[in-house]
Amino acid sequence: MKKHVECPPGVRQHHEQMLRLVAKSFYNELINYGVNETEILSVAGHLLDNVIQKSAPSTKQADYYNSHFTLKNVQDEWLTASRLSVQEVSIAPMGLEAIPQILSWLQAPDIQQSFYPKFPESEKELIQYFQNPNREYFSILYKNELAGIMGAENIDGDALKLEMRKLVGDARMHGKGIGKRATFLFLYNVFEIRKFQKVYLHSLDINIRNINLNGKFGFELEGVFLEDAMVANRKRDVVRMALTGQRWLQIFA
């Protein structure tokens, strides 16, 4: 008989919170698809049927991106050229010449509204935004072509932590895994070059896909701020996730 392993209280609390997030996201998606409340009860019944029909417990281990790349895969040219690369994707300090292209990407409502807080919408304000000494942004390059930007915000040199932001704005570049590789390089910069101890990020709403993608880098849920942001005249929840340097090394070293 399989022995039951009791999880520590903190782990149980995070797990229960994650389950609530999944349930809320699933409920919202059903409503968006036009499913009414009575039909939602029917869906719940189908979910229970799937649980009953599942013949054996899953033995699959946690899925991380270390099966795609590890620290040894990074082409580190930071000291000589301020550039990090892995599998045709590079990051390098962003220059102001990228501003017009970034402005063009931000014209798409679904891109601008997906960020919290949102980026400035004028060229002058955007230049001032990126010149703030508390921020440091990188160009994401795919085969040396600009594909997006990665950002370090709220840089805290005392606590050795910062906030991460990412935008793959070129629609032609979507679905190629560019964002994943750029994120990996950014985290390499934070933990291996800066020697910081923590990276955190914010996502709008209960976006389970983003939570899952970030979780594959080792990010863990820190909290949910209910109805904390107003976007397009609608209150949105904000999710915060974080990754420590120790956790990063456990996965990717």
Q: Is 81 domain-assigned?
A: yes
pTM: 0.78
Give me the pLDDT at residue 5, please: 45
| Overall domain count for the chain | 1
Asked if the structure places residue 94 within a domain, the reply is yes
pLDDT for the residue 11:
54
Within a domain: 15: no
Q: Looking at the domain assignment, is residue 214 inside a domain?
A: yes
Asked if residue 154 is part of any domain, the answer here is yes
Residue 172: inside a domain, yes or no?
Answer: yes
Query: What is the rounded CA–CA span in Å between residue 224 and residue 228?
Result: 9
The band of 168, judged by pLDDT with boundaries at 50, 70 and 90, is confident
Determine the average pLDDT of the residues in 134-143.
96
Residue 28 maps to a domain: no
Distance of alpha carbon 142 from alpha carbon 176, whole angstroms: 10
CATH number at residue 160: 3.40.630.30
Domain that holds residue 102: 69-252
pLDDT digits (tens, 9 = 90+) for 1-39: 444 445 555 556 666 777 777 777 777 777 777 777 767
Per-residue HEC secondary structure of the chain comes to: CCCCCCCCHHHHHHHHHHHHHHHHHHHHHHHHCCCCHHHHHHHHHHHHHHHHHCCCCCCCCCCCHHHCCCHHHCEECHHHHCCEEECCEEEEECCHHHHHHHHHHHCCHHHHCCCCCCCCCCHHHHHHHHHCCCCEEEEEEECCEEEEEEEEEEEECCCCEEEEEEEECCHHHCCCCHHHHHHHHHHHHHHHHCCCCEEEEEEECCCHHHHHHHHCCCCEEEEEEEEEEEECCEEEEEEEEEEEHHHHHHHHC
pLDDT digits (tens, 9 = 90+) for 84-96: 999 999 999 999 9
In a domain, 212, yes or no: yes
Query: Identity (one letter) of the amino acid at 32?
Result: N
In DSSP terms, 82 is beta-bridged to none
How far apart CA 50 and CA 163 sit, in angstroms, is 39
Residue 141 has pLDDT above 70, yes or no: yes
Q: Which tens digits make up the pLDDT trace of 121-130?
A: 899 999 999 9
| Weakest-pLDDT range from 26-40, 113-127, 148-162 | 26-40
- Residue 229, burial from CB neighbour count under 10 angstroms (0-12, 13-18, 19+): middle
